[in-house]
A and B are shown apart, each in its own frame.
Chain A
Amino acid sequence: MIRIIIQFFTIFVIYLIGNLIVTWLHLPLPGAVVGMVLLFIALLLGICRVTWVERIAQLHIKHITLLFIPSIIGVLRYIGIFQTEGLKLAVILIASSLVVLFVTAYTAEYYENKKRRK
């Protein structure tokens, strides 16, 4: 338990540093993403060992659904939007999801085939 708390604290400090960097440099990026890049670099350089943060990272990702819940509940305030714009939203959601899926898949497939031919 204490190990988990220490690990959480490590991640939390990196998150705060990420936010500070964003504020100082006026970066148009979320602080958490900068924190993610910092942690990745720290792991690569060996400043932070993966065992120091591994368990807390797994715990976050495993229970990430829990963290969405309040935001999902917040949607209830906007329920009216779905009555008026529901169809448009559905079309855009479906079309753009398929675009993401296919563009990613075809680009990867194309590069793999090109590599194979060489």
Chain B
Amino acid sequence: MGAYLIRRLLLIVPVLFGVSVIVFLTMALIPGDPALVILGPYATAERVAALRHDLGLDRSVVQQYVLWIGNVLEGDFGRSFSLDRPVLAEVMDRLGPTALLTGSALVLSTVFGLAAGAVAAARQYGWTDRLLTALVLVGISTPAFWLGLMLILVFAVYLGWFPVSGMFAVYRGGGLGDVLHHLVLPAVTLATVAAGVIARLTRTAMLEVLREDYVRTARAKGLRERSVLYKHAFKNALVAVVPVIGMQVGFLLGGAVYIETVFQWPGIGLMLVNAIAARDILLVQGGVLVVAVAYVFLNLLADVVQRLLDPRVQA
């Protein structure tokens, strides 16, 4: 496992390089003079010139990249003009809430997705299976931002069980209970689509595994169906499902943009939407880069988990 980790970490280096190049190149996509776009039409000529110099626009693209990545590696992502504070500080402040939201959604969707998929497979063609399959279909076809609005309407506005938006109550808030209370609706909303995808895949994986010879062996040993399905078949199905759960992290991080907007959850997604509205390109760049790098490492984690589950791939 140690050697594997080192090899994987080395393999990550070119991916990180590629990610940084793409994020850097989005800058080059800006039509016209980025400095003008960033500062807006009312900027003075001196400020434009100063920013052009700061951005290194008076140099070659390669020099610009080297300059930029050097700064990034030193933790200097530039300054957000709309918030008038360093990009990195803002991104770091926002990282916690997003991690909490996507983390909870990941746990919810994994638990419900695996359970629903396994039960549906165990009851194939029964009414439980049909019901779950229908729910899954609705889940993966629902626009998450719309679902969020509807949940707010029902559970916050009409029933009053949960707060409408935000992460803390304005006056008495701040405690863990308060945060969790605010977390329920956005986490459930965000988890819905991912749970559907995971459930679907788990069902298929279980059905494939249940045709294997070792399932017949388990039955020939007299094991109860419970044990055949949820021990012997499920652990094998899990090996196929874990990489997809890893991929869901990417969908959740992207989906968080909508959910944070709908629920005014103070994470990176909401920050990005506000930054785009304000044309604060440096803030967008910084946010996207940090999240993408985090995602690369989360994918590595998914690979490691898969190796732990499947003894066959352990070298």
Does B bind A?
A: no
Residues of A within 8 A of B (CB): none
